[in-house]
Amino acid sequence: MDLSLRPLAYLVLLFLASSSSFIAVYVVTANVVFPVQHKFKGQERNLSAFKAHDIRRHGRLLYDVDLKLGGNGKPSETGLYFAKIGIGSPPKDYYVQVDTGSDILWVNCIGCIRCPKKSSLGIELTLYDPKSSSTSSLVTCEQDFCKSTYDGPLPGCRPDLLCQYNVAYGDGSSTSGYFVEDNVQLDRVTGDHEVASENGSVIFGCGAKQSGELGSSSEALDGILGFGQANSSMISQLALAGKVKKMFAHCLDNTEGGGIFAIGQVVQPNVKTTALVPNQAHYNVVLKDIEVGGEALSLPSDIFENGFRKGTIIDSGTTLAYLPEVVYETLVPKIMAQQPGLKLHTVEDQFTCFQYIGNIDDGFPTVAFHFEGSLSLTVYPHEYLFQIRNDVWCIGWQNSGMSKDGSQMTLLGDLVLSNKLVVYDLVKQAIGWTEYNCSSSIKVKDESGAVYSVYAHNLSSASTAIIRRTLTFMLLLIGMLHSFSY
């Protein structure tokens, strides 16, 4: 079981001959969104779904855009956040997972093999059809995007061959597809609570085939919206075109199901940052130590060093939080020592659970991560413990050393990122966060110096279950001085 799924996923280039008609051999690429509803009837029986998801997984500012989302990060529910975006001309709506750990936007395409036709989330799935959009075009292997994605010219490339991909994951799932270019519709922020629709041309994956759990209709979405650092991500494409600065922020509310996602410069609240580790595929940071209840854990001095299958990654697409074995085996007993009378039991051979009556925050200690640059991240008991029924609670910390490859990676997902405003400054190569009410608002500044308030929303859905537990992400591409349309 690989906990850092993207580093271990491998990308294989495929070619398809293009013609006036779109090919029948479609393919899709990988990552699954887990919006937040109570999909578990017997939650204890389905806890492994959290890890199954994590295994599969492991910006010149000129406009402000409002992107509607649903879901929340609670492990006891679906555990992920998803957005609704418009693609094509005329635009159609697609529900995609928002994921800082992957590098492309992709949606399932017409003719897809084993793509889900319905979703347990109560949302209507839509297959993208390039032929139905007047602004779509195929991406060939000769184009700069394809060369950049694969770090150079591709062997055997011809003008009639499409740029394709195939991604395989540690759990046996795989997805494949080819790249297309089309308009993505974004709600540009024009003032406090005011938006106007704008189109931006983006190259994204057209999915055509899924295998393994990626074809399941439970938790199914239309695709993934990757916010990684690679040139293939949407934010990198918009930045290269001079449309945005490579800066964005998210605030995920797992209490009320609300949230904000902003591409652009956040000016309020102020957020302290730490440097990103250079030349890494993901958002790696330098973790110095961990405290439980104000007391530092006694750990090997090199345990958090960066290296092969080591280091610390911040990833909003991961539901739980994974720690090196020695850290896990030191931290969990330290937490539970505050309640020595509790009887622990294991659920599905991987989750440590117990029965507890009382206020969780009063009965258990806080956990604080300290990073380079004097930046800290505090995780409260109600965040690292999740309730599966009545008074039964489970520990969200997981042992990354239990993976098949013996990974000693620290992977911090929504378990620790929820209820915090997280800011990514890819221009300065820094990341930071602060505790925040994610159902409130933030202030952003555009290139003209104008400052706007951006509020969280709730994404409506046909499902009352989702309406009850949805969040909205505000995607903000901070204002440009010229048109964003193409």
CA distances (Å), origin 447, targets 110, 235, 265, 273, 431: 39, 17, 9, 22, 21
Which of 23-27, 156-160, 284-288 shows the lowest per-residue confidence on average (mean pLDDT)?
23-27
Confidence of residue 476 (pLDDT cuts 50, 70, 90): very low
CA distance 475 to 247: 12
405 part of the active site = no
- Residue 37: predicted pLDDT: 25
Mean of pLDDT values over 466-471: 28
99 part of the active site = yes
Does residue 99 or residue 79 have the better pLDDT? 99
Beta-carbon contacts of residue 18 (< 8 Å; ≥ 6 apart): 138, 140, 160, 161, 162
pLDDT digits (tens, 9 = 90+) for 233-281: 998 998 888 777 888 888 887 776 657 888 888 999 999 999 999 998 8
SS3 278: coil
- Residue 459: predicted pLDDT: 57
Whether the predicted pLDDT of 330 surpasses 80: yes
**CATH number belonging to the domain at 47-262+460-468, selected among 3.90.1200.10, 3.30.700.30, 3.40.1410.10, 2.40.70.10:** 2.40.70.10
Which of 89-98, 169-178, 411-420 shows the lowest per-residue confidence on average (mean pLDDT)?
169-178
- Residue 102: predicted pLDDT: 82
Share of the chain above pLDDT 70, in %: 72
Whether the predicted pLDDT of 108 surpasses 80: yes
Which residue is it, tokens 């398809």?
Answer: 16
Residue 194 bridge partners (DSSP): 191
Helix and strand numbers (H, E) in the chain are 9, 32
- Residue 5: predicted pLDDT: 35
CA distance 431 to 375: 10
How do beta strands 164-168 and 174-191 pair? antiparallel
- Of residues 436, 434, 468, 480, the one with CA closest to residue 455: 436
- Residue 312: predicted pLDDT: 95
Beta-carbon contacts of residue 162 (< 8 Å; ≥ 6 apart): 15, 16, 17, 18, 23, 138, 139, 140, 141, 178, 179
| End-to-end CA, the chain | 44
Whether the predicted pLDDT of 38 surpasses 60: no
Contact criterion met (CB below 8 Å) for 98 and 118: no
Contact criterion met (CB below 8 Å) for 391 and 360: no
Contact criterion met (CB below 8 Å) for 450 and 418: no
- Residue 379: predicted pLDDT: 97
Mean of pLDDT values over 358-376: 97
- Residue 452: predicted pLDDT: 83
pLDDT digits (tens, 9 = 90+) for 56-92: 544 222 344 444 445 544 444 444 677 888 999 999 9
Which one from 103, 253, 315, 414 is the annotated catalytic residue? 315
Does residue 472 or residue 153 have the better pLDDT? 153
- Of residues 245, 251, 242, the one with CA closest to residue 263: 245
Contact criterion met (CB below 8 Å) for 274 and 412: no
* H-state helical runs in 300-428: 325-336, 360-363, 381-384, 414-417
Question: DSSP string spanning 108-159?
Answer: EEEEEES--S--TTSPPP--B-GGG-TT-EE-BTTSHHHHHHTTSPPTT--T
CA distance 480 to 75: 38
pLDDT digits (tens, 9 = 90+) for 163-196: 988 776 555 667 789 999 999 987 666 777 776 7
Q: Which CATH topology does 270-435 take?
A: Cathepsin D, subunit A; domain 1 (2.40.70)
Residue 392 bridge partners (DSSP): 355, 389
Confidence of residue 405 (pLDDT cuts 50, 70, 90): low
Residue 226 bridge partners (DSSP): 99
- Residue 135: predicted pLDDT: 98
- Residue 169: predicted pLDDT: 55
pLDDT digits (tens, 9 = 90+) for 109-131: 999 999 988 888 878 999 999 99
φ, ψ of residue 111 in degrees (nearest 5): 85, 5
Does residue 94 or residue 197 have the better pLDDT? 94
Whether the predicted pLDDT of 298 surpasses 80: yes
Does residue 73 or residue 197 have the better pLDDT? 197
- Of residues 166, 191, 154, 152, the one with CA closest to residue 113: 166
Contact criterion met (CB below 8 Å) for 382 and 360: yes
Confidence of residue 373 (pLDDT cuts 50, 70, 90): very high
Confidence of residue 1 (pLDDT cuts 50, 70, 90): very low
Does 47-262+460-468 match 270-435 in CATH topology?
yes
Assess whether the previous peptide bond of 153 is cis (omega < 30° from 0).
Answer: no
Q: Which two tokens stand for residue 86?
A: 């418009």
Which one from 66, 99, 253, 425 is the annotated catalytic residue? 99
pLDDT digits (tens, 9 = 90+) for 333-351: 999 999 999 999 988 777 8
Domain ranges of the chain: 47-262+460-468, 270-435
Q: Kindly report the average pLDDT of the chain as a whole number.
A: 76
- Residue 460: predicted pLDDT: 42
